[in-house]
A and B are shown apart, each in its own frame.
Chain A
């Protein structure tokens, strides 16, 4: 242990703030360092003397002069007054925190922006959806179908995609509803350019039922 560090520990020990582990280390150093032993003795004397000095009551006039003296010195040095100093110290503390953790600040900023953006997207999206779909449209299947068919009538590609998508969903859901032991097959074979649909075009049959296996 260096003497400088040992002397700092001596001060803490005299104030009763030293942990046992540090006290042990300090004692080890003191056993081999005469300089620090002398320092300890000197500190003990100072402490004892300080404790012997009684409390001095200064008159209020003295405190007023003391305060004015400090203010004068501060203004000469171009420093702000006491209140400003206190405020500045607070700011310095804040500045120090920002400066000490720039990555944390950056992460928090990005997180705030991302969360804010997501919230806006969800909020606006929800509002948009509720504005687009009035209750009458959502409650009435026919109203909904009418609206849908009118939109699809203007967009052949979307209509075709929509029809294909529906067929796939039906096949998937019938299969899932049938369970693992049954495969239900629905076949659609609608000629798109022929207006007449033959009765054989659409068949629903239980191809691989338990009974047939």
Chain B
């Protein structure tokens, strides 16, 4: 990757981190927030390389990428919280049917919102890319997601061995 692109990437990243601090939620644990942010950093870095974005494209795409990420991170944090509470609810013998209904409806709604925001960003991203870059993005996405799942699998296996 060219030095210029790396500098653009770093500036955008720094901007994102600054914004995320301002909007810091304080609800999620440091570890989880750390994972989300690190995954975003790594994904952005690899995406810049995989798509071979020009400096112009980086300047247009990254602010939108940061905005989308901030919104999705908030939704995902809320979703995680709802699911945690749903687990607790299932163990609560006094819980009523309405409680379950409300919780499930909230989770479905949050998942839809996440999916919608993701699609929205992807639509924007694809409109900025060339045909080859679009094709690269699809493959990059599959490879990155699979890579993360495999990485997690390895971390779990290492944890089990150390137990």
* CB of B79 within 8 Å of the partner chain: yes
Least Cβ–Cβ distance between B92 and chain A, in angstroms:
19
* CB of A179 within 8 Å of the partner chain: yes
Within 8 A of B (CB), among A155-213: 155-163, 165-167, 169-170, 173-174, 177-179, 182, 184, 186, 188, 190-199, 202, 204, 206
Residue in B29, B45, B144 whose beta carbon sits within 8 Å of that of A173 in the complex: B45
Provide the A133-167 mask, 1 if CB < 8 A to any CB of B, else 0: 10001111111111111111101111111110111
Which residues of B sit under 8 angstroms from A140, Cβ to Cβ?
115, 118, 141, 145
We find that the number of chain A residues with CB closer than 8 angstroms to chain B is 55
Say whether, besides A133-B149, A149-B35, A195-B30, A157 and B45 are in contact (CB < 8 Å): no
Interface segment, B53-61, B94-102, B153-161? B153-161
We find that the number of chain B residues with CB closer than 8 angstroms to chain A is 56
Name the CB-closest residue of A to B42.
Answer: A170
Least Cβ–Cβ distance between A89 and chain B, in angstroms:
58
> Which residue of A143, A149, A155, A170 has the most chain B CB atoms within 10 A of its CB atom?
A149
Within 8 A of A (CB), among B23-51: 24, 26-39, 41-43, 45-46, 49
A-B contact pairs, 12 of them (CB 8 A): A140-B118, A140-B141, A140-B145, A143-B115, A145-B39, A146-B76, A146-B114, A147-B149, A161-B155, A166-B151, A182-B3, A192-B30
Whether B3 contacts A179 by the Cβ 8 Å rule is yes
Whether B31 contacts A177 by the Cβ 8 Å rule is no
Whether B10 contacts A184 by the Cβ 8 Å rule is yes
Say whether, besides A167-B38, A170-B41, A195-B27, A146 and B79 are in contact (CB < 8 Å): yes
> Which residue of B17, B31, B35, B38 has the most chain A CB atoms within 10 A of its CB atom?
B38
Whether B30 contacts A194 by the Cβ 8 Å rule is yes
Question: Considering the chains assembled together, what is the distance between the CA atoms of A187 and B70 in angstroms?
Answer: 21
Apart from A137-B145, A177-B45, A204-B10, list 20 A-B contacts with CB within 8 A: A138-B146, A141-B118, A145-B36, A145-B148, A149-B32, A149-B35, A152-B35, A153-B80, A155-B156, A162-B151, A163-B34, A165-B151, A173-B42, A177-B6, A178-B6, A190-B34, A192-B29, A193-B30, A197-B30, A202-B37
